[in-house]
Structure 1
């Protein structure tokens, strides 16, 4: 199913940071998730993390697993 997702560049992802564009997107393991509706990501930030980025490396230090992303819509993948 992920193969059917549109591809976005890192520059396009960076614009979906909740400030340049209203969408709040982050990437994890090459998949882009839409976190716009999450109350924990208001204004494009969540603790010390910023939207519009690939958070794969940062997840190692998070108090939760990648499983939290399962509740959010997959909107694309990184080119």
Structure 2
């Protein structure tokens, strides 16, 4: 799996590059096509970062990540 730095992830925030990525438990997911992440923001959460700690406040479980393709590993 491709290794992706925090700096590379940060650029995929829905503003700086056309791709929208998020990380969870060290895996980077491509969420560009999700209508919920179109602008890089999903409720009070922002793309381009590791959302592992924020999931505990979400109304869903980690199963939501099964909808998205893993594209890399956060290093």
TM-score class, shorter-chain normalisation, is: over 0.9
4+ residue runs over 4 A deviation? none
Q: CA RMSD in A?
A: 0.5
- Structure 1 CA distance for aligned equivalents of residues 55 and 9 of structure 2: 18
Residue in structure 2 matching 1:14, options 10, 14, 18: 10
Query: Secondary structure in 2 aligned to 1:76?
Result: strand
Give the unaligned 5+ runs of structure 2: none
Give the aligned partner of residue 60 of structure 1. Answer: 56
Could you tell me how far 1:42 is from its partner in structure 2? 1.4
Query: Secondary structure in 2 aligned to 1:23?
Result: coil
Structure-1-length-normalised TM-score: 0.93
Could you tell me how far 1:57 is from its partner in structure 2? 0.1
- Deviation per CA, 1:34-65: give whole Å up to 9, x if none: 00000011110000000000000000000000
Give the unaligned 5+ runs of structure 1: none
Report which of the two has the higher share of helix. Answer: 1
